Structure 1
Amino acid sequence: MSSDHVDVLIIGAGLSGIGAAHRLSTECPDKSYAILEARDAIGGTWDLFRYPGIRSDSDMYTLSYPFKPWTNAKAIADGEDIRTYIRDAAREFGSGERIRFGHRVTSAAWSSEDARWTVRSEVGSETRVMTSSFLYLCSGYYDYDEGHTPDFPGVEDFGGQVVHPQFWPEDLEYDGKRVVVIGSGATAVTLIPSMADRTEHITMLQRSPTYITSLPQGDKLASLLRKVLPAGAAHRATRLKNATVAIGFYEFCRRFPSLAKRILLTRAGRSVPGDFDPKHLTPRYDPWDQRLCIVPDGDLFRTLRHGRASIVTDTIDTFTADGIRTSSGEHLDADIVVTATGLKVVSFGKIALEVDGRAIDPHDVYVYKGLMFSGLPNLAWCVGYTNASWTLRADLTAQYVTRYLNHLDEHGYAFGMPDPAGASGEPAPIIDLSSGYVQRVAGELPQQGSSSPWTIRQNWFLDAWDTRRTDLDEAMVWTRAEDVPASGAAAEHVA
């Protein structure tokens, strides 16, 4: 068992972790850091998922870093392009040299007496130990080890192959096969047009529809700006424009749900065959109660128009030897069934947290300013937006962390924590969506309150303003460096 110490320990070498490392290098250059990555490659989600057509569901000008311009012509990019972008960033900024691959973090224990986290990782059959003054979780909130697959009746009788997109077999042959994709979210609407040209027929079997809208795969304004402006300026202008459109439309949907619903359904209805049953595109909920699905250049609608794919809205009665029988009695012939039934959401990267010998139940803590948590010292968890690109919030989180670290040094603090009492009033889930993958774990996730600083706002503009001007002492409990090490370290409460 080995041990070493860094000022900041980043967990995860995906989009968030590589961006956080760059911010640390530039804004806290005297801080030492390391990145622990469970897998053997950079890229996180974008390296894990390899199903056909995997792509961003946000535009790349907002999903990319503000400090590394996106120069690819695709605004809605393929997984391989995103993976390459993240790896290029790690190499360009030198953060790749700080990554320790194959380190699956299992636990982290905070000691106030030592003002540090002790982090244990599994590396093969060995346990490695590191300590850090600050723990920065950039592993997202999806379980990389398992996806969500319901217990389908009769699945053991199915003679074909059942595949979950999170674990796509490299050698899966689907040429000329009959394929059924169960699900209606971003993964399903990506798979259908990507596989349709090679299958005999592909069917999307959905229990309920999702709002689907088309966006251009390229960005004409971005192409024009790159011709007349330096790359950085063109990138910033396009990023601002796209963030404005995305957040503006979200706010429009929340304020005027009936009108937004009519607009979305009208656009979708004009894109499908004339005899297409509108029930397949009409959700039971209002826009942005769940994530909106984006299809680049209307590829899903085009596939439906050409008859290469179909949508069935029904529930599953049972699997059969050669397909699926729905509750209405229809039989869907299938050689392959893809269970695009969702991901499993977890808290804190499934890391068992402990503070001064007390085990932490994630559901007992409240989020603070979107990244820290009540009673958890010197810890941040990067959680992106649900209504806009993940990186918009991830980069704000990284900027806040660097300000926080500099604040510690400027005031002689060893560590701080958001008020352990947390928020008052009626709590709400940290992820504000009605989607099944969120509701299944609502009782396990951290909570948010009803007012600042104990909330997560889905508004990049307000958060960007606050990140630069926020009161770092608000609702914080600080411990001075002169009081460490000492048992029962004295804390100063700053209201």
Structure 2
Amino acid sequence: MSLPTYTEIGCIPPPTTVPNDVVQHWIASFAGAIARVDVTSVVALFLNDGWWRDLLSMTWDFRTFHGCNNITQFLEDRLKISQLSAIKLASTVSPKLVTPYPDLGWIQAMFTFETAIGYANAVIRLVYLPSGEWKAFTLVTSLEMLKGAEPEIDFDYPTRQDYAAARQEEEQFLNEDPTVLIVGAGQSGLGVAARLKLLGVKSLIVERNERVGDQWRKIRYASLRIHDPVWRDQLPLMSMPEPPLWPVFTPGTKLGDWFESYVKLLDLNAWTSSMIRDPKYDPAAKEWTVTVVRNDGTSRTLKTKHIVWATGLNGGYPNMPDFVGVEDFKGPILHSSQFQQPASFAGKKVAVIGSGVSGHDICRDLALTGVDVTMIQRGSTYIMSVKNAIPLQYKELFWKGSPPTEVADLLYQSFPNPITALMSVRVTEKVAELDREMLDGLARVGFRTNMGIDGSGLFRLALKRGGGSYINVGASEMIIDGQIKLKNDSLVDSFTHDGIQFVDGSVLPADAVICATGYGNMHGVIEETFGGKVRSVLKPQFWDFDEEGEIHGIWRDSGHERFYIAYGNLPNARFYSKFLALQIKAMEMGVFGSRYSLV
């Protein structure tokens, strides 16, 4: 597996290349072969090492096929029944020659098509060969809408009921039960709810916090800001204002307020201060029975066709290491989710266990207020600066003046994940060059860094571990100059009355300890709510890549019928929520076909 560099291909595109003409010719050949159901001719339009990624449009799953043999098998199995037609160049993005690096280039274009059940988009990247041909390096095909499910606008003027009364009836489901129950009002749950509403599917969000957005107001430290620019961190179907009316990097509390506003403005149905109890699935009726319990002691039993579990990668439950001697420690031991303000730690020695985002941000907060704080680093950490990394990674698609979000999302996701990982190696190397002074300074004081999994920086770490990195917004300089002390020469052995003892016998005095140690296991959290019967049929792994490079069990088949797991950062939740909503709508319409899944 490699990138089609000019050296590997053996030539560069001619300077006289007209991208539109090249793409039109390729699409005509592709459409003709598709119409004839001529698999051999379709595959001949790809590089031998080419890729085809499908997002529901032909597989009802997320699949990535690498190489002519795998693409051939896929098309032999699915081309005829998919009934592709109406293939034409998209009007949203003009074909263009893209050169991400001096030794790498392709023509990038979008086209649209129809299938037996829906409308779809595609992104193609064509590479020039010594023979004078242009062949596909990557193709992604993506279901956009189901036939018969197109949103309708009701222009009739309401005359019988006032808005507030109508919303009360709708939100409380006074006369019916929701088709979909969504557990969790984070970006994933809200995204699915909005997408379902667009498709005419009634859903109810159940949120354990008092208000929508409280996971950003109360369960995160007060200084938290999102590290991605606002153009990348939109929710679907309704965008935040752009800078200067909105910060480029959104404060966590402000994001929580936006989540709450989003629910109100889109008329999404959410019950806060609520949790689900005793969910039971009836496979014959294909229906869940669930009791929703509210903090005021009232409860209601609902019947729903689908449950979406959108409580975060690990359910939002803190992971607290089981250290020996914690009961003997004189001071408070908190999880990072319990840390709010540094003022309560004034005059104390604080140890922070963990060197990921939360560990760095909390140490920085404490050091800025003069607290004696020591970071305990247990393993190496990938570090990049927000100043250098963010513009380099996102300026083309997620910046002021970039393409519309829906287009940018598809272009960003149109690389198969293994290719994105290869591209990320190059980005990571470039960021490290720009960050050399900072990285050298960290090395001088003994802070251990890495370049991410296989040198891919943040990309693989985020999709495998959901952590292990820090985008520097100031803490790294404070580690270098000693404002944040560092302890990483031995692992924690136990707690004493006055501090922490390490395996090598050294002791770190501490008055308080904050564990920035992540969150618990998703399977365990699901079992607590649904029981062992549901857990026993779930996929053995969630998150990380399967052998094709697709994400295990998220936004797709979880292993249990009509139970789905929705998880991702803001851009992933925005993009993939559409596909989960389409799967649910297709089932409700009776047009959902068999999944062509990886065995």
Q: Give the distance between the partners of 2:416 and 2:257, measured in 1 at CA.
A: 25
Pick the aligned partner of 2:259 from 57, 65, 86.
86
Aligned to 1:270: 438
1:213/1:284 CA distance change after superposition, 3 Å: closer
Q: Give the distance between the partners of 1:78 and 1:261, measured in 2 at CA.
A: 29
Question: What letter corresponds to residue 301 of structure 2 in structure 1?
Answer: V
Aligned to 2:216: 46
Out of 304-313 and 400-409, give the one that drifted further. 400-409
Out of 242-251 and 182-191, give the one that drifted further. 242-251
Q: Give the distance between the partners of 2:414 and 2:470, measured in 1 at CA.
A: 17
For residue 338 of structure 1, report the CA deviation from its aligned partner.
0.8
Please tell me whether the aligned partners of residues 351 and 376 of structure 2 are also in contact (alpha carbons under 8 angstroms). yes
TM alignment of 1:337-416, pairs within 5 A? 337-347=513-523, 349-350=526-527, 352-353=529-530, 359-362=533-536, 364-365=538-539, 370-373=554-557, 376-384=560-568, 390-411=569-590
- Aligned pair count reads 401
1:235/1:113 CA distance change after superposition, 3 Å: closer
Please tell me whether the aligned partners of residues 119 and 129 of structure 1 are also in contact (alpha carbons under 8 angstroms). yes
TM alignment of 1:95-494, pairs within 5 A? 95=268, 98-124=269-295, 125-144=297-316, 146-168=317-339, 173-216=344-387, 233=403, 251-252=421-422, 264=432, 267=435, 270-271=438-439, 273=441, 276-278=444-446, 280-282=448-450, 286-287=454-455, 288=460, 290=465, 291=467, 293-297=469-473, 299-313=474-488, 314-347=490-523, 349-350=526-527, 352-353=529-530, 359-362=533-536, 364-365=538-539, 370-373=554-557, 376-384=560-568, 390-411=569-590, 453-454=597-598
Please tell me whether the aligned partners of residues 218 and 340 of structure 2 are also in contact (alpha carbons under 8 angstroms). no
For residue 351 of structure 1, report the CA deviation from its aligned partner.
6.0
For residue 92 of structure 1, report the CA deviation from its aligned partner.
1.9
Q: Give the distance between the partners of 1:263 and 1:253, measured in 2 at CA.
A: 13
Q: Give the distance between the partners of 2:536 and 2:506, measured in 1 at CA.
A: 43
1:242/1:42 CA distance change after superposition, 3 Å: same
Q: Which runs of 5+ in 2 are unaligned?
A: 1-173, 543-551
Deviation digits for residues 420-460 of structure 1, max 9, x if unmatched? xxxxxxxxxxxxxxxxxxxxxxxxxxxxxxxx7349xxxxx
- RMSD across aligned C-alpha pairs, in angstroms? 4.2
1:143/1:361 CA distance change after superposition, 3 Å: closer
Pick the aligned partner of 2:239 from 58, 66, 69.
69
Q: Secondary structure at the residue paired with 2:574?
A: helix
Q: Give the distance between the partners of 1:138 and 1:325, measured in 2 at CA.
A: 38
Q: Give the distance between the partners of 1:304 and 1:239, measured in 2 at CA.
A: 36
Question: What letter corresponds to residue 161 of structure 1 in structure 2?
Answer: P
Out of 44-53 and 216-225, give the one that drifted further. 216-225
Q: Give the distance between the partners of 2:443 and 2:469, measured in 1 at CA.
A: 23
TM-score, length-normalised on structure 1?
0.68
Q: Give the distance between the partners of 1:36 and 1:260, measured in 2 at CA.
A: 39
Question: What letter corresponds to residue 295 of structure 1 in structure 2?
Answer: I
Please tell me whether the aligned partners of residues 365 and 374 of structure 1 are also in contact (alpha carbons under 8 angstroms). yes
Aligned to 2:189: 17
1:247/1:197 CA distance change after superposition, 3 Å: farther
- Report % sequence identity: 19
Q: Give the distance between the partners of 1:208 and 1:165, measured in 2 at CA.
A: 18
Deviation digits for residues 17-46 of structure 1, max 9, x if unmatched? 2222211122x22x3222211221112642
For residue 209 of structure 1, report the CA deviation from its aligned partner.
1.9
Please tell me whether the aligned partners of residues 289 and 303 of structure 2 are also in contact (alpha carbons under 8 angstroms). yes
Q: Give the distance between the partners of 1:397 and 1:148, measured in 2 at CA.
A: 27
Question: What letter corresponds to residue 88 of structure 1 in structure 2?
Answer: S
Aligned to 2:150: none
Please tell me whether the aligned partners of residues 179 and 203 of structure 1 are also in contact (alpha carbons under 8 angstroms). yes
1:349/1:261 CA distance change after superposition, 3 Å: farther
